Amino acid sequence: MKRFIITLFFVVTIQNINGQQKQDIDLITSGKWYLEYVGTIDNKEIVPEGKEKNNWMIFYSSGKLESMTMGNQNISNWEYLKNKNSLKMIDKGQEIVQKIVKINEKEFVLSFLNENKEIYFGFKK
């Protein structure tokens, strides 16, 4: 009986984790994400109103990533790293891994370490 309960616990836990990962991927690929801010936790630089149209990302379920930064459009690739709750973005041979800090229907926050400082990218729909 004890073995059955432990096995059942692991099955339920794995199903919950897989369900959350699918939900995260569905949210990530749900459309165009506009950059709202960039910076550290203490010092966020807000994208000026009207400039968000020049700074966005679209994540496709195929692994394609379409982005625009300061008006320059780019096509690259991305991958969901389920064990790290992170995204790996691959552009011209360079790999950048960013941790998913928060994601819901309206907000998407990524972070990465740069010179021992955590940098945040906040996106909105």
What pLDDT is stored for residue 50 in this prediction?
82
What pTM, to 2 d.p., does this model score? 0.79
Q: Which residue has the higher pLDDT, 16 or 97?
A: 97
Answer for the pair 58, 32: CB distance below 8 angstroms, yes or no.
yes
What is the chain's mean pLDDT, rounded? 85
Per-residue pLDDT of 30-89, as tens digits, reads 999 999 999 998 899 999 988 888 999 999 999 999 999 988 999 999 999 988 999 999
- Cβ-contact 47, 26 below 8 angstroms: no
We find that the CATH architecture of domain 2-124 is Beta Barrel (2.40)
Q: In this structure, how many other beta carbons lie within 10 angstroms of the beta carbon of residue 113? A: 11
Domain ranges across the chain: 2-124
Question: Are the C-beta atoms of 64 and 75 separated by less than 8 Å?
Answer: yes
Cβ atoms of 109 and 97 within 8 Å: the answer is: no
